[in-house]
């Protein structure tokens, strides 16, 4: 059974490559986003993952920076299944076979970490993307965790929404057993685990629900980047605690995103490890 699902994933990856190569050069932004959303939902379905949106789901169509805690490479597709975003990734990913090319085709912004000059370039790119109406998703922890805690947020990229005068949307991610609601670490991409080992853990686990909780938008033009990073961190921490049953989430009807069939490429996160 797991072998068949892995075969389905390989065929799905091939479909994504073909879609990016054949269709993307000829279709507009809205069509590309439709394909990315559809492809991501199909990937999650193959992996046995459903998505539940909780809280005041932000309206689409306006540029913003989305900040979230970071648990797994699945986070990217969970976010894409809600609304395709542009992710910020380390430049090494661009050289990965197939995956690097897919990331570039789906709008990933690459950064050479440790080079201040390149950080300034990426800040300008993020600002321009948001001003054009794109949502740029970053994982300010800079690494993945098992989801128990949220690490402090790096403030470097928080200057972009301030410069653009656009909001920051705090989002919390949690993976749980679909039957019991208990947190699962199967998707966690941590320590010395490889991507394939994490994939095996996901496929061997019972059905998983990826919970996505949305907080109220933060106005980026009212704070410096360090203060904005602290506010964003506090908002994500509060959402994570609420998902764990330690507080009430904002009033809203939860909406399940069905893992429907799909067709196209994926993206990369700001720091996949």
Every domain of the chain and the residues it spans = 2-257
| Architecture of the domain whose range is 2-257 | 3-Layer(aba) Sandwich (3.40)
Q: Report pLDDT for 61.
A: 66
Give the pLDDT mean for 32-38: 95
Asked if 139 and 75 count as a contact pair (C-beta separation under 8 A), the reply is yes
More confident: 114 or 112: 112
Q: Could you tell me what percentage of the chain is helix, strand and coil, using 3-state DSSP and rounding each to the nearest 5?
A: 45, 15, 40
The answer, yes or no, to whether residue 263 has pLDDT greater than 70, is no
Name the token pair of 11. Answer: 């065929």
Q: Which of 87-101, 129-143, 167-181, 240-254 has the lowest mean pLDDT?
A: 240-254
What's the CA gap between 34 and 38, in Å, rounded? 6
Stated pTM of the model: 0.87
Give the pLDDT mean for 61-81: 92
Give the pLDDT mean for 6-28: 93
Helix (H) or strand (E) holding 15: helix 2-22
- Edge to edge, the sheet with strand 208-214 lists 109-111, 86-90, 135-138, 64-68, 168-177, 208-214, 49-54, 255-257
What's the CA gap between 41 and 273, in Å, rounded? 23
Q: Report pLDDT for 60.
A: 60
Beta-strand pair 208-214/168-177: antiparallel
State the virtual CA torsion across 101, 102, 107, 110 in degrees, nearest 10: -50
């Amino acid at each position: 059974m797991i072998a068949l699902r892995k075969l389905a994933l390989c065929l799905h990856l091939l479909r994504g490559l073909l879609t990016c190569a054949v269709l993307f050069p000829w279709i507009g932004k809205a069509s590309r986003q439709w394909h990315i959303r559809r492809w991501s939902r199909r990937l999650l379905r193959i992996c046995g993952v459903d998505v539940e949106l909780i809280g005041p789901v932000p309206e689409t169509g306006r540029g913003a920076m989305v900040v979230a805690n970071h648990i797994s490479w699945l986070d990217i597709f969970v976010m894409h299944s809600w609304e395709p975003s542009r992710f910020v990734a380390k430049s090494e990913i661009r050289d990965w076979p197939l995956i690097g090319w897919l990331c570039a085709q789906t709008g990933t912004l690459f950064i050479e970490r440790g080079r201040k000059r390149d950080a300034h370039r990426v800040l300008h790119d993020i600002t321009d993307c948001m001003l054009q109406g794109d949502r740029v998703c970053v994982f300010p922890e800079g690494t993945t965790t098992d989801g128990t805690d949220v690490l402090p947020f790096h403030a470097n990229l928080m200057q972009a929404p301030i410069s653009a005068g656009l909001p920051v949307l705090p989002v919390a991610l949690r993976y749980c057993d679909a039957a019991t609601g208990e947190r699962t670490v199967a998707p966690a991409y941590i320590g010395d685990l490889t991507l394939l080992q994490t994939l095996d853990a996901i496929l061997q686990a019972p059905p998983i629900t990826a919970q996505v909780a949305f907080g109220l938008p933060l106005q980026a033009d009212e704070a410096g980047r360090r203060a904005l990073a602290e506010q964003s961190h506090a908002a994500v921490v509060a959402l994570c605690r609420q998902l764990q049953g330690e507080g009430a989430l904002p009033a809203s009807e939860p909406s399940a995103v069905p893992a429907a069939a799909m067709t196209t490429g994926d993206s990369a996160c700001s720091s996949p490890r």
